[in-house]
Amino acid sequence: MKQRGMNKIGVMLLCIILPAWSAAHGLRAPIINDQNAVLAKGDIPTPVKYEAAIHAYLAHVQTQLQHINQQLSLIVSDTKKPSLTAARQSYIRAHQQYERIRPIVALFGNVNQNINSRASDYLQGVEDPRFTGFHLLEYELFRQQNPAKAHEAAVNLQYEIQDLQKRVALDSIDAAKMVQAAADFMELILNGKLAGQENRFSHSDLADIDGNIEGAADIVHYLAPFIPQAQLRPIEAGFQDIRQVLAPYRLPGQQYQPFGRLSRADHDRLYSLVTTQADRLAQLRAILNIRVYYQYPH
């Protein structure tokens, strides 16, 4: 009986203390209002003035996806004949066009992983069932020279590209991500392509470097009306300098010599130019006053 009485007293004390403690704790908690609220990245509205440029750019992305789909249709046909030489050329063109929009594709969930993962991303390498997309197709065309498996890989990849077309048609991107993508193109070159690591079976990394350069230039083209001339001129000159280094390696039909033909001097020159261009493009967000984590100023 004595123990039961003590329990009742304890409960009564808690009922008195807890509300008081909760009220005190509530007074110490920060008060969130319109002045100090921070928007989540996904909730940041794009200023109206950029909407037309984004819409036009996404239409361009759709056009690139159509070109990729057309090249894949040729591969499906050529591997059925079979004509591996023609299929290989179509692969190089298709992947070059993909590299022209790749950072934008990465904004649509895990699509880029499904479409463009490399065998080295998986413990089982080329035998891993998750290894699909462009580089599986490249492996079957250039290393294995297996028309039947290349045909199957091309059919599956074409399905992924067509699905991506539908996603892009139904969705949009914000200004911050579009601007960031311009610099991301340069990082793709610096982090892999200048080491010849993107297309390890076809050795077509120079074509992909061209794709990345033109992809970044596309974004700058659509944002150019908002970029002051003092900053726009060196950016456009930077693209031209890179194109001049690539020009001697260019073949008819917008194709390029194998990556191994790139001289050490031109390799180092490209690395320097692309690094400088990456710095210029990384400044665009500040130049355009596009904020990532906070509300846009009115």
pLDDT in tens, 184-214: 999 999 999 999 989 999 999 999 999 999 9
What is the per-residue pLDDT across 97-126, written as a single tens digit (0 to 9) for each?
999 999 999 998 888 988 999 888 888 989
Which pLDDT score, from 0 to 100, does residue 37 have? 42
Q: Which two structure tokens, joined as six digits, stand for 22? A: 């909760």
Find the mean pLDDT for residues 212-219.
98
pLDDT at 158: 97
More confident residue, 212 or 14: 212
Quote the pTM value: 0.83
Q: Is the pLDDT of residue 223 over 80?
A: yes
Q: What is the pLDDT of residues 117-174, one digit of tens each?
A: 988 888 898 998 999 999 999 999 999 999 999 999 999 999 999 999 999 999 889 8
Identify the residue with better confidence: 25 or 215. Answer: 215
Give dist(CA 215, CA 105) in Å, integer.
Answer: 12
Q: What is the pLDDT of residue 32?
A: 40
pLDDT at res. 36:
47
Question: pLDDT tens across 37-80, in order?
Answer: 444 444 556 778 999 999 999 999 999 999 999 999 999 999 99
**Token match 């594709």: residue?**
105
pLDDT band at 26 (very low <50, low <70, confident <90, very high): very low
Strand-strand pairing, 250-251 and 255-256? antiparallel
CB atoms inside a 10 Å sphere around CB 211: 26
Distances (CA, A) of 69 to 45, 75, 97, 154, 204: 32, 10, 10, 10, 19
The rounded distance, in Å, linking the Cα atoms of 220 and 259 is 27
What residues does 251 pair with on adjacent strands?
255
Question: What's residue 24's pLDDT?
Answer: 42
> Which residues make Cβ contacts (< 8 Å) with residue 109, sequence separation at least 6?
none
For the chain, helix (H) and strand (E) counts, in that order, are 12, 2
Rounded Cα distance, 279 and 215, in Å: 16
Distance CA 95, CA 254 (A): 13
Cβ 96 vs Cβ 207: under 8 Å: yes
3-state class (DSSP) for residue 251: strand
Task: Check residue 44 and give its pLDDT.
Answer: 59
Residue 123's CB is within 10 A of a number of other CB atoms, namely 8
pLDDT of residue 290: 84
Phi and psi at residue 27, to the nearest 5°: -70, -30
